[in-house]
Protein backbone atom coordinates (compact mmCIF):
# COMPACT_ATOMS: atom_id res chain seq x y z
CA UNK A 1 0.00 0.00 0.00
CA UNK A 2 1.36 3.42 -0.95
CA UNK A 3 2.45 5.78 1.82
CA UNK A 4 0.07 8.74 2.05
CA UNK A 5 1.79 12.11 2.63
CA UNK A 6 0.50 14.35 5.40
CA UNK A 7 0.47 17.21 2.91
CA UNK A 8 0.38 16.24 -0.75
CA UNK A 9 2.22 18.17 -3.41
CA UNK A 10 0.10 20.70 -5.24
CA UNK A 11 0.24 22.31 -8.69
CA UNK A 12 1.17 25.89 -9.43
CA UNK A 13 -2.20 27.54 -8.96
CA UNK A 14 -3.52 30.43 -11.06
CA UNK A 15 -6.90 31.52 -9.70
CA UNK A 16 -9.20 34.44 -10.40
CA UNK A 17 -11.55 35.96 -12.93
CA UNK A 18 -9.94 35.96 -16.38
CA UNK A 19 -6.77 34.24 -15.17
CA UNK A 20 -6.72 31.88 -18.16
CA UNK A 21 -5.55 34.87 -20.20
CA UNK A 22 -2.12 34.03 -18.73
CA UNK A 23 -2.04 30.64 -20.45
CA UNK A 24 -0.30 31.79 -23.67
CA UNK A 25 2.40 33.42 -21.55
CA UNK A 26 2.90 30.16 -19.63
CA UNK A 27 3.25 28.26 -22.91
CA UNK A 28 5.85 30.75 -24.13
CA UNK A 29 7.79 30.74 -20.86
CA UNK A 30 8.01 26.94 -20.82
CA UNK A 31 8.96 26.80 -24.48
CA UNK A 32 6.20 24.37 -25.45
CA UNK A 33 5.70 24.17 -29.22
CA UNK A 34 3.27 21.23 -29.48
CA UNK A 35 0.20 21.11 -27.24
CA UNK A 36 -2.04 18.05 -26.92
CA UNK A 37 -5.43 19.36 -25.81
CA UNK A 38 -7.96 17.10 -24.07
CA UNK A 39 -11.43 18.65 -23.96
CA UNK A 40 -15.12 17.96 -23.55
CA UNK A 41 -17.39 17.71 -26.57
CA UNK A 42 -19.74 20.55 -27.60
CA UNK A 43 -19.28 22.38 -24.28
CA UNK A 44 -15.74 23.25 -25.33
CA UNK A 45 -16.92 25.35 -28.27
CA UNK A 46 -18.54 27.91 -25.97
CA UNK A 47 -15.39 28.61 -23.94
CA UNK A 48 -14.40 31.86 -25.65
CA UNK A 49 -11.43 32.63 -23.34
CA UNK A 50 -9.95 29.27 -24.29
CA UNK A 51 -10.60 29.82 -28.00
CA UNK A 52 -8.86 33.20 -27.82
CA UNK A 53 -5.89 31.70 -25.97
CA UNK A 54 -5.55 29.03 -28.65
CA UNK A 55 -5.65 31.65 -31.38
CA UNK A 56 -2.88 33.52 -29.58
CA UNK A 57 -0.57 30.53 -29.23
CA UNK A 58 -1.22 29.72 -32.89
CA UNK A 59 -0.09 33.23 -33.82
CA UNK A 60 3.05 32.51 -31.82
CA UNK A 61 3.76 29.43 -33.92
CA UNK A 62 2.55 26.81 -31.44
CA UNK A 63 0.86 23.71 -32.87
CA UNK A 64 -2.05 22.13 -31.00
CA UNK A 65 -4.26 19.10 -31.50
CA UNK A 66 -7.62 18.57 -29.84
CA UNK A 67 -8.78 15.25 -28.38
CA UNK A 68 -12.49 15.49 -27.37
CA UNK A 69 -13.75 13.23 -24.58
CA UNK A 70 -17.33 12.03 -24.06
CA UNK A 71 -18.29 10.65 -20.66
CA UNK A 72 -16.00 9.01 -18.15
CA UNK A 73 -12.76 7.69 -19.67
CA UNK A 74 -11.93 4.05 -20.26
CA UNK A 75 -8.42 2.65 -20.73
CA UNK A 76 -9.18 2.41 -24.44
CA UNK A 77 -9.93 6.15 -24.62
CA UNK A 78 -6.65 6.91 -22.86
CA UNK A 79 -4.65 4.51 -25.03
CA UNK A 80 -6.00 6.23 -28.14
CA UNK A 81 -5.08 9.59 -26.68
CA UNK A 82 -1.57 8.33 -25.98
CA UNK A 83 -1.28 7.15 -29.58
CA UNK A 84 -2.36 10.53 -30.95
CA UNK A 85 -0.18 12.53 -28.55
CA UNK A 86 2.85 10.42 -29.43
CA UNK A 87 2.12 10.75 -33.14
CA UNK A 88 2.06 14.56 -32.95
CA UNK A 89 5.17 14.70 -30.79
CA UNK A 90 3.33 16.46 -27.95
CA UNK A 91 5.44 18.42 -25.49
CA UNK A 92 2.66 19.19 -23.00
CA UNK A 93 -0.83 17.89 -22.26
CA UNK A 94 -3.48 20.50 -21.46
CA UNK A 95 -6.84 19.27 -20.15
CA UNK A 96 -9.79 21.69 -20.32
CA UNK A 97 -13.09 20.34 -19.01
CA UNK A 98 -14.74 18.46 -16.18
CA UNK A 99 -13.20 15.79 -14.00
CA UNK A 100 -13.36 13.10 -16.67
CA UNK A 101 -11.45 15.29 -19.13
CA UNK A 102 -8.85 16.15 -16.50
CA UNK A 103 -8.43 12.48 -15.62
CA UNK A 104 -8.02 11.66 -19.31
CA UNK A 105 -5.34 14.29 -19.75
CA UNK A 106 -3.54 13.11 -16.64
CA UNK A 107 -3.58 9.50 -17.81
CA UNK A 108 -2.46 10.42 -21.34
CA UNK A 109 0.48 12.43 -20.01
CA UNK A 110 1.50 9.42 -17.91
CA UNK A 111 0.69 6.80 -20.54
CA UNK A 112 3.31 8.20 -22.89
CA UNK A 113 5.90 6.77 -20.50
CA UNK A 114 4.26 3.39 -19.88
CA UNK A 115 4.69 0.18 -21.86
CA UNK A 116 1.51 -1.40 -23.17
CA UNK A 117 -2.00 -0.34 -22.18
CA UNK A 118 -2.65 2.01 -19.29
CA UNK A 119 -5.04 -0.69 -18.03
CA UNK A 120 -2.03 -2.74 -16.96
CA UNK A 121 -1.19 -0.06 -14.38
CA UNK A 122 -4.60 0.45 -12.76
CA UNK A 123 -4.92 -0.35 -9.06
CA UNK A 124 -6.68 -3.67 -8.53
CA UNK A 125 -6.78 -4.39 -12.28
CA UNK A 126 -3.25 -4.47 -13.68
CA UNK A 127 -0.05 -5.98 -12.35
CA UNK A 128 2.40 -3.21 -13.25
CA UNK A 129 3.41 -0.17 -11.21
CA UNK A 130 3.34 3.36 -12.69
CA UNK A 131 6.71 5.04 -13.01
CA UNK A 132 5.61 8.56 -12.09
CA UNK A 133 7.08 9.93 -15.31
CA UNK A 134 4.81 12.00 -17.53
CA UNK A 135 4.67 14.89 -19.95
CA UNK A 136 4.12 18.35 -18.45
CA UNK A 137 0.45 18.66 -17.54
CA UNK A 138 -1.81 21.70 -17.22
CA UNK A 139 -5.29 21.22 -15.71
CA UNK A 140 -8.10 23.67 -16.47
CA UNK A 141 -11.36 22.62 -14.78
CA UNK A 142 -14.63 23.93 -16.16
CA UNK A 143 -16.70 22.34 -13.39
CA UNK A 144 -16.24 22.45 -9.61
CA UNK A 145 -16.35 18.82 -8.56
CA UNK A 146 -13.70 16.13 -8.54
CA UNK A 147 -10.71 18.32 -7.72
CA UNK A 148 -8.69 16.30 -10.23
CA UNK A 149 -6.62 19.41 -10.91
CA UNK A 150 -5.02 18.80 -7.49
CA UNK A 151 -4.90 15.00 -7.23
CA UNK A 152 -2.31 12.35 -7.98
CA UNK A 153 -4.70 9.88 -9.58
CA UNK A 154 -6.80 9.48 -12.71
CA UNK A 155 -9.97 7.40 -12.48
CA UNK A 156 -10.64 5.10 -15.45
CA UNK A 157 -13.54 2.72 -15.86
CA UNK A 158 -15.24 0.05 -17.89
CA UNK A 159 -18.97 -0.01 -17.16
CA UNK A 160 -20.97 -3.23 -17.12
CA UNK A 161 -21.77 -6.39 -15.12
CA UNK A 162 -18.05 -7.12 -14.66
CA UNK A 163 -17.00 -3.49 -14.84
CA UNK A 164 -14.51 -1.62 -12.71
CA UNK A 165 -13.63 1.92 -11.74
CA UNK A 166 -9.99 2.15 -10.72
CA UNK A 167 -7.17 4.66 -10.39
CA UNK A 168 -3.91 5.19 -12.17
CA UNK A 169 -2.00 6.68 -9.25
CA UNK A 170 1.43 8.08 -8.47
CA UNK A 171 2.53 11.15 -6.47
CA UNK A 172 4.23 12.39 -9.62
CA UNK A 173 0.91 12.64 -11.46
CA UNK A 174 -0.24 15.83 -9.72
CA UNK A 175 -0.49 18.44 -12.53
CA UNK A 176 2.25 21.01 -12.96
CA UNK A 177 -0.21 23.89 -13.13
CA UNK A 178 -3.92 24.47 -12.62
CA UNK A 179 -6.12 27.38 -13.71
CA UNK A 180 -9.24 28.17 -11.66
CA UNK A 181 -10.99 30.71 -13.87
CA UNK A 182 -14.66 31.18 -12.96
CA UNK A 183 -15.38 32.57 -16.43
CA UNK A 184 -14.86 29.04 -17.75
CA UNK A 185 -17.54 27.71 -15.36
CA UNK A 186 -20.37 30.09 -16.24
CA UNK A 187 -21.87 27.95 -19.00
CA UNK A 188 -21.94 24.76 -16.94
CA UNK A 189 -25.59 23.58 -16.80
CA UNK A 190 -27.36 23.62 -13.41
CA UNK A 191 -27.72 19.82 -13.27
CA UNK A 192 -24.00 19.25 -13.79
CA UNK A 193 -23.13 22.14 -11.48
CA UNK A 194 -25.27 20.55 -8.75
CA UNK A 195 -23.94 17.01 -9.10
CA UNK A 196 -20.33 18.15 -9.36
CA UNK A 197 -20.72 20.44 -6.37
CA UNK A 198 -22.08 17.61 -4.23
CA UNK A 199 -19.06 15.52 -5.21
CA UNK A 200 -16.75 18.28 -3.98
CA UNK A 201 -18.75 18.61 -0.76
CA UNK A 202 -18.60 14.84 -0.30
CA UNK A 203 -14.83 14.85 -0.65
CA UNK A 204 -14.47 17.69 1.84
CA UNK A 205 -16.72 16.00 4.41
CA UNK A 206 -15.16 12.56 3.96
CA UNK A 207 -11.62 13.91 4.22
CA UNK A 208 -12.51 15.88 7.36
CA UNK A 209 -13.99 12.77 9.03
CA UNK A 210 -11.28 10.44 7.69
CA UNK A 211 -9.22 8.24 9.98
CA UNK A 212 -6.21 9.76 8.21
CA UNK A 213 -7.22 13.40 8.64
CA UNK A 214 -4.53 15.78 9.87
CA UNK A 215 -4.39 19.48 10.83
CA UNK A 216 -3.40 20.54 7.31
CA UNK A 217 -6.22 18.65 5.59
CA UNK A 218 -8.64 19.76 8.31
CA UNK A 219 -7.92 23.43 7.66
CA UNK A 220 -8.53 23.12 3.93
CA UNK A 221 -11.59 20.90 4.37
CA UNK A 222 -13.29 23.30 6.77
CA UNK A 223 -12.52 26.31 4.59
CA UNK A 224 -13.80 24.41 1.57
CA UNK A 225 -17.04 23.62 3.39
CA UNK A 226 -17.47 27.28 4.33
CA UNK A 227 -17.05 28.28 0.68
CA UNK A 228 -19.36 25.55 -0.59
CA UNK A 229 -22.00 26.31 2.01
CA UNK A 230 -22.01 29.93 0.91
CA UNK A 231 -21.89 29.42 -2.86
CA UNK A 232 -23.23 25.98 -3.84
CA UNK A 233 -26.90 26.90 -4.17
CA UNK A 234 -25.98 30.26 -5.69
CA UNK A 235 -24.13 28.64 -8.60
CA UNK A 236 -26.87 26.05 -9.10
CA UNK A 237 -29.57 28.72 -9.29
CA UNK A 238 -27.71 31.68 -10.78
CA UNK A 239 -24.45 30.18 -11.98
CA UNK A 240 -24.44 31.96 -15.31
CA UNK A 241 -24.07 35.34 -13.63
CA UNK A 242 -22.38 34.84 -10.27
CA UNK A 243 -18.66 34.94 -11.01
CA UNK A 244 -17.60 35.30 -7.37
CA UNK A 245 -19.65 32.28 -6.31
CA UNK A 246 -18.23 30.24 -9.18
CA UNK A 247 -14.72 31.07 -8.00
CA UNK A 248 -15.56 30.05 -4.44
CA UNK A 249 -16.87 26.70 -5.64
CA UNK A 250 -13.77 26.26 -7.80
CA UNK A 251 -11.64 26.78 -4.69
CA UNK A 252 -13.82 24.36 -2.71
CA UNK A 253 -13.35 21.66 -5.35
CA UNK A 254 -9.61 22.32 -5.53
CA UNK A 255 -9.33 22.05 -1.74
CA UNK A 256 -11.30 18.79 -1.87
CA UNK A 257 -8.72 17.36 -4.26
CA UNK A 258 -5.83 18.35 -2.00
CA UNK A 259 -7.68 16.92 1.01
CA UNK A 260 -8.51 13.56 -0.53
CA UNK A 261 -4.91 13.11 -1.64
CA UNK A 262 -3.72 13.81 1.90
CA UNK A 263 -6.47 12.26 4.04
CA UNK A 264 -8.34 9.80 1.84
CA UNK A 265 -12.08 9.30 1.46
CA UNK A 266 -14.81 7.21 3.06
CA UNK A 267 -17.87 5.10 2.46
CA UNK A 268 -19.62 7.47 0.05
CA UNK A 269 -16.84 7.03 -2.48
CA UNK A 270 -16.42 3.41 -1.43
CA UNK A 271 -19.97 2.88 -2.71
CA UNK A 272 -19.97 5.33 -5.62
CA UNK A 273 -17.05 3.61 -7.35
CA UNK A 274 -18.56 0.09 -7.64
CA UNK A 275 -21.98 1.56 -8.46
CA UNK A 276 -20.41 3.66 -11.22
CA UNK A 277 -18.58 0.63 -12.55
CA UNK A 278 -21.77 -1.41 -12.73
CA UNK A 279 -24.25 1.23 -13.93
CA UNK A 280 -23.87 4.18 -16.37
CA UNK A 281 -24.54 6.89 -13.78
CA UNK A 282 -22.37 9.97 -13.33
CA UNK A 283 -20.06 9.96 -10.33
CA UNK A 284 -21.37 13.26 -9.00
CA UNK A 285 -24.98 12.08 -9.10
CA UNK A 286 -24.05 8.93 -7.20
CA UNK A 287 -22.25 10.92 -4.50
CA UNK A 288 -25.18 13.32 -4.19
CA UNK A 289 -27.58 10.43 -3.70
CA UNK A 290 -25.46 8.70 -1.07
CA UNK A 291 -23.89 11.50 0.95
CA UNK A 292 -26.76 12.68 3.23
CA UNK A 293 -27.89 9.14 4.06
CA UNK A 294 -24.37 7.87 4.72
CA UNK A 295 -23.65 10.81 7.01
CA UNK A 296 -26.93 10.29 8.86
CA UNK A 297 -26.01 6.64 9.41
CA UNK A 298 -22.50 7.66 10.45
CA UNK A 299 -23.77 10.02 13.14
CA UNK A 300 -26.11 7.30 14.39
CA UNK A 301 -23.28 4.75 14.72
CA UNK A 302 -20.91 7.25 16.33
CA UNK A 303 -23.57 8.20 18.88
CA UNK A 304 -24.29 4.56 19.65
CA UNK A 305 -20.60 3.80 20.14
CA UNK A 306 -19.86 6.98 22.08
CA UNK A 307 -17.21 8.55 19.84
CA UNK A 308 -17.50 12.08 21.20
CA UNK A 309 -14.49 13.52 19.37
CA UNK A 310 -15.78 12.30 16.01
CA UNK A 311 -19.25 13.62 16.78
CA UNK A 312 -17.67 17.00 17.44
CA UNK A 313 -16.05 16.81 14.01
CA UNK A 314 -19.47 16.07 12.48
CA UNK A 315 -20.80 19.15 14.24
CA UNK A 316 -17.90 21.28 12.98
CA UNK A 317 -18.48 20.13 9.40
CA UNK A 318 -22.20 20.84 9.70
CA UNK A 319 -21.54 24.30 11.11
CA UNK A 320 -19.07 25.18 8.36
CA UNK A 321 -21.43 23.99 5.64
CA UNK A 322 -24.50 25.69 7.10
CA UNK A 323 -22.85 29.07 7.54
CA UNK A 324 -22.49 28.94 11.31
CA UNK A 325 -19.31 29.72 13.20
CA UNK A 326 -17.44 26.41 13.59
CA UNK A 327 -17.39 25.75 17.34
CA UNK A 328 -18.32 22.08 17.45
CA UNK A 329 -21.15 22.78 19.90
CA UNK A 330 -24.06 22.17 17.50
CA UNK A 331 -25.80 18.78 17.35
CA UNK A 332 -23.90 16.33 15.10
CA UNK A 333 -27.16 15.82 13.23
CA UNK A 334 -26.69 19.30 11.75
CA UNK A 335 -24.35 17.76 9.17
CA UNK A 336 -26.77 15.28 7.56
CA UNK A 337 -29.65 17.76 7.94
CA UNK A 338 -27.70 20.39 6.01
CA UNK A 339 -26.75 17.87 3.33
CA UNK A 340 -30.36 16.75 2.89
CA UNK A 341 -31.44 20.38 2.53
CA UNK A 342 -28.75 21.19 -0.03
CA UNK A 343 -29.63 18.16 -2.15
CA UNK A 344 -33.33 18.96 -2.12
CA UNK A 345 -32.88 22.66 -2.83
CA UNK A 346 -30.48 21.89 -5.68
CA UNK A 347 -33.12 19.69 -7.31
CA UNK A 348 -30.88 16.65 -7.60
CA UNK A 349 -32.85 13.61 -8.83
CA UNK A 350 -32.83 10.16 -7.26
CA UNK A 351 -31.35 7.06 -8.89
CA UNK A 352 -34.78 5.86 -10.00
CA UNK A 353 -34.64 4.59 -13.56
CA UNK A 354 -30.90 3.89 -13.46
CA UNK A 355 -31.44 0.13 -13.50
CA UNK A 356 -30.27 -0.57 -9.96
CA UNK A 357 -32.34 -3.28 -8.24
CA UNK A 358 -32.64 -4.13 -4.52
CA UNK A 359 -30.65 -7.29 -5.24
CA UNK A 360 -27.89 -5.17 -6.77
CA UNK A 361 -27.95 -2.93 -3.70
CA UNK A 362 -27.52 -5.85 -1.32
CA UNK A 363 -24.67 -7.32 -3.36
CA UNK A 364 -22.86 -3.99 -3.55
CA UNK A 365 -23.36 -3.40 0.17
CA UNK A 366 -21.73 -6.72 0.95
CA UNK A 367 -18.55 -5.72 -0.86
CA UNK A 368 -18.52 -1.99 -0.03
CA UNK A 369 -15.20 -0.43 0.93
CA UNK A 370 -15.31 1.84 3.97
CA UNK A 371 -11.89 3.19 2.99
CA UNK A 372 -10.92 5.76 5.67
CA UNK A 373 -14.47 6.13 7.02
CA UNK A 374 -14.55 6.85 10.77
CA UNK A 375 -16.83 3.92 11.61
CA UNK A 376 -18.33 0.78 10.11
CA UNK A 377 -21.90 0.98 8.82
CA UNK A 378 -23.70 -2.40 8.92
CA UNK A 379 -24.20 -4.03 5.51
CA UNK A 380 -27.98 -4.12 5.81
CA UNK A 381 -28.01 -0.41 6.53
CA UNK A 382 -25.82 0.29 3.50
CA UNK A 383 -28.19 -1.74 1.34
CA UNK A 384 -31.15 0.20 2.74
CA UNK A 385 -29.45 3.49 1.87
CA UNK A 386 -29.03 2.47 -1.77
CA UNK A 387 -32.54 1.02 -1.99
CA UNK A 388 -34.03 4.24 -0.59
CA UNK A 389 -32.62 6.16 -3.56
CA UNK A 390 -33.61 3.85 -6.44
Q: Per-residue pLDDT tens for 162-186?
A: 899 999 999 999 999 999 999 999 9
Neighbours of 113 (CB within 10 A): 14
- At 388, the pLDDT band (50, 70, 90 cuts) reads very high
Question: What pLDDT shows up at residue 167?
Answer: 97
- At 8, the pLDDT band (50, 70, 90 cuts) reads confident
Task: Work out the mean pLDDT of the chain and round it to a whole number.
Answer: 96
Does the pLDDT of residue 59 top 80, yes or no? Answer: yes
Q: Which residue has the higher pLDDT, 241 or 236?
A: 236
Average pLDDT of span 238-252:
94
Does the pLDDT of residue 368 top 90, yes or no? Answer: no
pLDDT tens-digit profile of 109-167?
999 999 999 999 999 999 999 999 999 999 999 999 999 999 999 999 999 888 999 99
Domain with CATH 3.40.50.1970 in the chain: 12-184
Question: What pLDDT shows up at residue 2?
Answer: 59
Question: What pLDDT shows up at residue 236?
Answer: 98
CATH class of 12-184: alpha beta
Question: What pLDDT shows up at residue 67?
Answer: 98
3-state helix/strand/coil string of the chain: CCCCCCCCCCCEEEECCCHHHHHHHHHHHHCCCEEEEEECCHHHHHCHHHHHHHHHHHHCCCEEEEEECCCCCCHHHHHHHHHHHHHHCCCEEEEEECHHHHHHHHHHHHHCCCCCCHHHHCCCCCCCCCCCCCCCEEEEECCCCCCHHHCCEEEEEECCCCCEEEEEECHHHCCCEEEECHHHCCCCCHHHHHHHHHHHHHHHHHHHHCCCCCHHHHHHHHHHHHHHHHHHHHHHHHCCCCHHHHHHHHHHHHHHHHHHHHHCCCHHHHHHHHHHHHCCCCHHHHHHHHHHHHHHHHHHHHHHHCCHHHHHHHHHHHHHHHCCCCCCCCCCCHHHHHHHHHHHHCCCCCCCCCCCCHHHHHHHHHCCCCCCCCCCCCHHHHHHHHHHCC
Does the pLDDT of residue 20 top 70, yes or no? Answer: yes
Asked if 165 and 277 touch (Cβ cutoff 8 Å), the reply is yes
What pTM, to 2 d.p., does this model score? 0.96
Report percent pLDDT > 70 for the chain.
99
Per CATH, the number for 190-388 is 1.20.1090.10
Backbone angles phi, psi at 327, to 5 degrees: -120, -20
Domain with CATH 1.20.1090.10 in the chain: 190-388
Does the pLDDT of residue 31 top 90, yes or no? Answer: yes
Question: What pLDDT shows up at residue 217?
Answer: 97
Average pLDDT of span 223-244:
95
Amino acid sequence: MAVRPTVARTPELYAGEGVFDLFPRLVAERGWRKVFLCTGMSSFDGLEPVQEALREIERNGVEWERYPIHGEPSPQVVDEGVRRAREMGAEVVVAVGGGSVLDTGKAVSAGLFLEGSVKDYLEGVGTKSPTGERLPLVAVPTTAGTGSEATSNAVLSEVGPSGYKRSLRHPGYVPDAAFLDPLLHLSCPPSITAAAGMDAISQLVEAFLSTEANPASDALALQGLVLAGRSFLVVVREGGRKVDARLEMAYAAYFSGVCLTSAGLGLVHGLASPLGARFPVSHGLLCANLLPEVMEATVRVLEREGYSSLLTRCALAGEALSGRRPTGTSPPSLLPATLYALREQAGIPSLSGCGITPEDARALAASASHKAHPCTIPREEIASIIISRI
